[in-house]
Every structure is written in structure tokens, then in C-alpha cells.
């Protein structure tokens, strides 16, 4: 049995201490957001961070991991509108309070540990490797930093102590029966009445919706439409001596049996405002981005668990007189799992560091830095969510496959890890929603930097051929594949916009179009079918590029790291090329399929 899950995956400590941006801002983090005298130097701060993570890793290995299967089997209880968590999970939560997990990201000013988000991400990943049910519950209850950012001083004083001790448990409520990904159709209403709001409506698929307080997105302006007129309200489970939120049911899921997924009914419920009235989407988006990054970290932890289980099994399972790890196909599967899990971890860590640097910039009012890190964080968040959650499903499935018939038996943990993974491409915005975000961000970025994109389009391939640095060459080849994908999408829009043959367009006209391009300029008549159909393939290409870039940016001159990067490039580049081929040749048959089915519906 592993003694310490944090230390048993050496890549985590390497990211903490060496291969990330974190060491560069430890002292600035304390000076700006904590206590400038907390650490004598950055190394002392990193020692503190690692010590906290090692304590988590020890508890995760020795107490949480051995009980993961029993938590899956036991599940939650639901009776008379009340949800009861398993006693084992409640016991875990008490220990996490002692370890400071729920106060981790709260400033020392309010009694917290003032840990950067990058450290919290490594904590969540480690816990997910031990037990997906436990780690998701911890993530759902870790909203103290959200209150720290958006709450009033009175709210912070009243609420933070309850959250840091897990006396009050938290949930986030967005989804409604007719408003899932399309939040503009949200109908739950909040009408101001004196110093509070009266809330009516229904929320569905709410993780840990039985919580003591629920941060709920509601429509406070009854005349508003779309994303306007929304506000975030804090709605307590009980108010004025009565039940304030009704849990009407919990979902019967194939996975995460100890994490209740609830339907909530608000019937003249009382709530209080969190953040500016009418800015609810902006406020909740901040929490959603943190949640998406958390889901990526949890998915990475589950994938890591599956890889470690598969590798251990492959070393001891003998067929044809040798361990199956020595069979080429098995070795290939395992090494691909290792490459992917490390790439996932690096990309999530980079995004978390960008979030930290954005927080620092906002605290200092540095507009240039705010713009830089906000763009980087916005760029990486949907990529992390897509890449890590999709890869977790693939990796756990391959681990199950490697176990053969034993893989589907409950005697082994891989069937459970596979079941736990399949929800992650859906949680906090489906993979397809993330793809549309990537498409939108890509087109906006090209519009704002037209000349730079055109230069990159011409130069990436050429420079990749002449550079003597193999790592730089691999990254430039990946950039070229990404450029070609973007180019195909742009040309499909240009062709529709100008109603002309692409081959007849002069370079100056293309450049003029790209320079002026904006999604706001597209009319309802513009045919975006090809870009939408290509968005997920574009996202997969973009994910591979940024995974490689995140590895490269923080590798330094470490030769082992550089060798690993080149191995990952050998995995990523061929599939980037394949996705580009699909974008070029595959879409036409889908368009034909859509046309046939459209006719069938019309009839």
C-alpha cells in the first residue's frame, strides 16, 4: 500500500518546486495577499507548501484510498427530503478541517493559510487519485475563496469561519430543467423584499445540493433577457426557523454514489445578494472557471490512479512466460497513459499559476498584467477542462482493458475509476461547450492579432525546419498544425462572407478581412456550420499544442524533461495531423447527413 500519494507521483513535487511558475511568485504572493514576513525566502515558502501537501498525501494514501470502494458501495441516503452523507465521508471531512483544506486559499487576514490556487490544485488531484467521491465533495465545499473575493466584509466575517471549519457546506446552483448550458433561458426568480430576496424556481443536477448554503444564479430583473439581469444569491438551507430549500429528489447515477446530485425547489425562499446586482453571470463565471479547473485536476487524479493500477497489474500479471508489461502493445498503452497524465498535470498547473498571477495583478491594479494573465487563464481553462476530462475517460477505459476480464469485476478498482470518470466531460460545461469557447476565443485572438497570425502561418513551418533545437522544432511543428486548422476555419467563413472563390482572393484582401474580423460582425445569414462542426477537432489540436507548450515553457534545460517532451511530441503531432485531415476531408459527409435528416424532419 502506498505511504504517501503526493510523494508517490514525483511529477507533482517537481511541478511545485521546479517546473512551473509558482517558485517565481511565492514571495510576491505573501507580500501582496498575506504576510510579507511569513517566509524568509521562496524556498521556505515552497517547503511550507510541500509540507502541507505531504500531510494530505499521507492521509489520502493511508485513510482515504483504502475506503474508496466502500464509499462507492455505501452511497448517500435520501429520506423525507433529507440527504445523509456516509459516515466515512463525514469522518474524512473532519480530518480535512484539521489539515486546513477548507481554509487553504483564504488570506491569513481571515484566519486562512493563504495558499495559492496552484497548491490547491495539486491537493485536489492527489485526493482524486485516492477517492473520486471524497475529492469531488472537498471541491464542492471549497468555496471560501469565492466568498473572500465577492463577499462584503460583513459576509466574510459571518460566513468564512463557518466554511473554513466545514460547519456550513456549500453548493453552486446554475442548471434548471430548461436551462442547462444555455443560461440565458434561466427562469428562477429573485424579487427584492427589503434587505433580502424572495426566490422561486427549480434547479436540477446540483452537486451536493443538500448543502447548508447554496450560491444560486437567479433572475432579479424580471424584464431582462439572456444573460442580463442575473444575480448571485446566497440561499441558506434553513431561514427564519423553517426549511428554506426543498430537495425534491437525488439522481440515481452510475457513478459518484457518495456525492448527491440533487433537484432543488425554491418556494418563497429567502436569499441575500453576493456581488453586484445584475452582474450575476460575471460573478458566477469566476466560480465556474475555478470549478472547471478543479474538474480538470480531479480528472487528472482519476487518470493517474488508473495508470498506477494498470502499471502495477501489468508488472505482476504473467502471460507467455513474461509480465504483460513486456508485451509491446501493453507497454505502448502504459507509456501513452504516462505521457498523457503528465501533460494533463502540467497544463492544469500552468492554468492555476495564471489564475494566481491574475489575482496578484488585480490586487495591485496592474492593468497590463491583468490583461495578460486574464487572457492566458481564459485561454487555458476550457482547454484543461476538455483535455483532462476527455483523456481521463480514455485512460481509465484502457486501464480496464489491460486488466482483461478482471477489469469489469468489482474485485479490482479500475471499473470504478472508469465509472467515476465518465461524468467529467459533462460536469461544469460539456466538452462541446468548451469547444465552442475555444473556437470563439481563437477567432477573437486572430482578429486582434491578424498580422501576427499571418506571420506565424508563414513562419512556423519554415523555422521548424531550420532550428537546431529539437524541442523548439517540435513546438513549431505543433504550432504549424494549429495554424492550418485555424486557417481552414477562417477560409470557410471568408468564402461565405465574400461569396467568392478562395483561390481568387488576394493576400491583401484576406489580411484586410482578418484585421476587421469580429464575431459581432457576423450576421444571421453567415453560414457557421463548418466552424461549428470543426470546433471539437480544433479544440483537440489546440489542446495538444498547449499541452506541449506548457511542458516546454517550464522545462528549463533539464535533459530528462526535454526527452519526455520529445516523446510527448511524437504522440501528439501525428494525431494533430490526423485531425487536420479530418477537418479537410470528413466534414462534407456530415453535412450530407445533416441535410438528409433535415429533409426527413421537414416531411
pLDDT digits (tens, 9 = 90+) for 93-102: 999 999 999 9
Specify whether the CB–CB gap between 245 and 237 falls below 8 A: yes
How far apart CA 442 and CA 232 sit, in angstroms, is: 29
Specify whether the CB–CB gap between 173 and 263 falls below 8 A: no
Q: What is the reported pLDDT for 437?
A: 94
pLDDT grade, residue 290 (50/70/90)?
very high
Average the pLDDT over each of 33-42, 66-75, 316-325, 404-413 and give the range with the smallest value: 33-42
Query: Under CATH, which number does the domain 170-279 receive?
Result: 2.40.110.10
pLDDT grade, residue 297 (50/70/90)?
very high
Q: What percent of the chain has pLDDT over 90?
A: 80
- pLDDT at position 602 over 50: no
The residues with which 170 forms a beta bridge, in sequence order, are: 213
Q: In the predicted model, what is the mean pLDDT of residues 374-401?
A: 97
Q: Do 5-167+282-421 and 170-279 have matching folds?
A: no
How far apart CA 563 and CA 559 sit, in angstroms, is: 6
- pLDDT at position 501 over 50: no
Listed residue (575, 597, 577, 595) closest to 587, CA to CA: 595
Instruction: Classify domain 5-167+282-421 at the CATH class level.
Output: mainly alpha
Count the neighbouring beta carbons within 10 Å of the beta carbon of residue 10: 9
- pLDDT at position 430 over 60: yes
- Cell of residue 90, nine digits: 463525514
Higher pLDDT, 598 or 232: 232
CA 553 from chain center: how many Å? 20
Q: What is the reported pLDDT for 521?
A: 43
Handedness of CA 432, 280, 298, 336 (dihedral sign): positive
Q: What is the reported pLDDT for 459?
A: 74
How far apart CA 496 and CA 494 sit, in angstroms, is: 5
- pLDDT at position 517 over 60: no
- Cell of residue 544, nine digits: 495538444
pTM: 0.93
How far apart CA 125 and CA 141 sit, in angstroms, is: 15
- pLDDT at position 390 over 50: yes
Q: What is the pLDDT of residues 157-187, one digit of tens each?
A: 999 999 999 999 999 999 999 877 778 889 9
Q: What percent of the chain has pLDDT over 70?
A: 93
**Residue 103 — left, alpha, or beta (φ > 0 → left; ψ -120 to 50 → alpha)?**
alpha
Cell 461565405 found at: 496
Q: What is the pLDDT of residues 322-370, one digit of tens each?
A: 999 999 999 999 999 999 999 999 999 999 999 999 999 999 999 999 9
- pLDDT at position 268 over 80: yes
Backbone angles phi, psi at 467, to 5 degrees: -70, 145
Q: In the predicted model, what is the mean pLDDT of residues 114-143?
A: 97
Q: What is the reported pLDDT for 547?
A: 97
- Cell of residue 573, nine digits: 503531432
pLDDT grade, residue 222 (50/70/90)?
very high
DSSP for 283-332, written as a single string: HHHHHHHHHHHHHHHHHHHHHHHHHHHHHHHHHH-EETTEEGGGSHHHHH
- pLDDT at position 411 over 80: yes
pLDDT grade, residue 496 (50/70/90)?
low
Q: What is the reported pLDDT for 599?
A: 59
pLDDT grade, residue 500 (50/70/90)?
very low
- pLDDT at position 523 over 80: no
How far apart CA 412 and CA 406 sit, in angstroms, is: 7
Q: What is the reported pLDDT for 503?
A: 47
Domain-by-domain residue ranges, the chain?
5-167+282-421, 170-279, 431-587
Q: What is the reported pLDDT for 525?
A: 59
- pLDDT at position 138 over 50: yes
DSSP for 101-167, written as a single string: GGGTTS-GGGT-----HHHHHHHHHHHHHH-HHHHHHHHHT--HHHHHHHS-HHHHHHHHHHHHTTS
Higher pLDDT, 53 or 599: 53
How far apart CA 361 and CA 514 sit, in angstroms, is: 31
The DSSP code for 255 is S
* Measured CA angle at 337 (ends 12, 345), to 5 deg: 30
pLDDT grade, residue 519 (50/70/90)?
very low
Cell 506565424 found at: 456
pLDDT grade, residue 266 (50/70/90)?
very high
Reported residue count of the chain is: 603
Q: What is the pLDDT of residues 193-217, one digit of tens each?
A: 999 999 999 999 999 999 999 999 9
Amino acid at each position: 500500500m502506498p505511504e504517501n500519494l503526493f510523494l508517490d507521483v514525483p511529477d507533482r513535487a517537481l511541478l511545485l518546486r521546479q517546473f512551473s511558475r509558482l517558485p517565481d511568485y511565492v514571495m510576491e504572493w505573501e507580500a501582496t495577499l498575506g504576510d510579507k514576513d511569513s517566509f524568509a525566502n521562496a524556498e521556505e515558502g515552497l517547503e511550507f507548501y510541500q509540507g502541507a501537501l505531504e500531510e494530505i498525501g499521507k492521509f489520502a494514501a493511508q485513510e482515504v484510498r483504502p475506503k474508496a470502494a466502500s464509499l462507492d458501495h455505501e452511497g448517500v441516503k435520501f429520506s423525507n427530503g433529507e440527504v445523509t452523507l456516509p459516515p466515512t465521508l463525514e469522518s474524512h471531512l473532519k480530518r480535512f478541517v484539521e489539515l486546513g483544506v477548507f481554509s487553504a486559499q483564504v488570506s491569513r487576514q481571515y484566519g486562512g493559510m493563504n495558499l495559492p490556487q496552484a497548491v490547491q490544485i495539486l491537493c485536489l488531484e492527489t485526493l482524486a487519485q485516492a477517492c473520486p467521491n471524497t475529492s469531488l465533495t472537498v471541491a464542492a465545499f471549497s468555496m471560501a475563496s469565492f466568498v473572500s473575493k465577492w463577499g462584503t466584509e460583513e459576509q466574510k466575517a459571518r460566513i468564512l469561519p463557518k466554511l473554513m471549519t466545514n460547519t456550513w457546506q456549500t453548493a453552486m446552483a446554475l442548471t434548471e430543467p430548461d436551462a442547462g448550458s444555455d443560461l440565458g433561458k434561466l427562469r428562477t426568480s429573485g424579487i427584492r423584499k427589503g434587505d433580502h430576496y424572495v426566490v422561486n424556481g427549480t434547479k436540477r443536477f446540483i452537486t451536493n445540493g443538500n448543502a447548508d448554503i447554496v450560491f444560486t444564479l437567479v433572475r432579479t430583473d424580471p424584464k431582462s433577457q439572456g444573460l442580463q439581469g442575473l444575480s448571485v444569491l446566497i440561499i441558506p438551507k434553513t431561514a427564519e426557523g423553517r426549511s428554506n430549500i426543498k430537495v425534491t429528489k437525488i439522481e440515481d447515477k452510475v457513478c459518484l454514489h457518495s456525492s448527491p446530485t440533487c433537484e432543488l425547489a425554491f418556494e418563497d425562499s429567502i436569499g441575500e445578494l453576493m456581488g453586484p446586482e445584475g452582474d450575476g453571470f460575471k460573478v458566477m463565471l469566476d466560480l465556474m472557471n475555478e470549478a472547471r479547473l478543479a474538474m480538470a485536476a480531479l480528472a487528472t487524479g482519476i487518470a493517474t490512479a488508473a495508470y498506477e493500477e494498470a502499471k502495477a497489474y501489468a508488472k505482476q500479471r504473467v502471460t507467455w512466460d513474461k509480465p504483460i508489461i513486456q508485451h509491446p502493445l501493453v507497454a505502448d498503452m502504459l507509456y501513452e497513459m504516462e505521457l498523457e497524465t503528465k501533460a494533463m498535470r502540467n497544463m492544469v498547473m500552468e492554468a492555476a499559476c495564471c489564475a494566481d498571477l491574475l489575482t496578484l495583478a488585480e490586487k495591485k491594479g496592474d492593468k497590463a498584467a491583468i490583461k495578460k494573465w486574464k487572457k492566458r487563464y481564459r485561454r487555458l481553462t476550457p482547454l484543461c477542462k476538455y483535455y483532462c476530462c476527455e483523456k481521463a475517460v480514455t485512460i481509465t477505459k484502457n486501464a480496464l482493458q489491460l486488466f482483461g476480464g478482471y477489469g469489469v469485476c468489482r474485485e479490482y478498482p479500475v471499473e470504478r475509476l472508469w465509472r467515476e470518470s465518465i461524468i467529467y466531460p459533462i460536469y461544469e460545461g460539456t466538452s462541446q461547450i468548451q469547444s465552442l469557447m475555444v473556437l470563439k476565443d481563437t477567432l477573437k485572438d486572430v482578429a486582434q492579432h491578424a498580422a501576427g497570425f499571418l506571420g506565424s502561418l508563414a513562419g512556423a513551418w519554415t523555422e521548424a525546419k531550420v532550428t537546431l533545437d529539437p524541442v523548439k522544432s517540435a513546438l513549431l511543428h505543433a504550432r504549424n498544425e494549429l495554424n492550418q486548422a485555424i486557417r481552414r476555419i477562417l477560409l470557410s467563413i471568408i468564402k461565405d462572407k465574400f461569396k467568392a472563390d478562395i483561390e481568387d482572393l488576394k493576400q491583401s484582401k484576406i489580411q484586410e478581412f482578418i484585421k476587421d474580423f469580429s464575431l459581432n460582425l457576423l450576421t444571421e445569414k453567415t453560414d457557421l456550420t463548418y466552424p461549428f462542426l470543426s470546433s471539437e477537432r480544433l479544440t483537440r489540436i489546440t489542446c495538444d499544442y498547449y499541452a506541449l507548450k506548457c511542458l516546454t515553457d517550464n522545462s528549463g534545460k533539464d535533459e530528462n524533461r526535454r526527452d519526455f517532451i520529445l516523446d510527448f511530441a511524437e504522440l501528439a503531432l501525428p494525431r494533430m495531423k490526423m485531425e487536420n485531415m479530418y477537418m479537410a476531408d470528413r466534414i462534407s459527409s456530415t453535412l450530407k447527413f445533416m441535410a438528409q435528416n433535415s429533409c426527413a424532419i421537414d416531411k
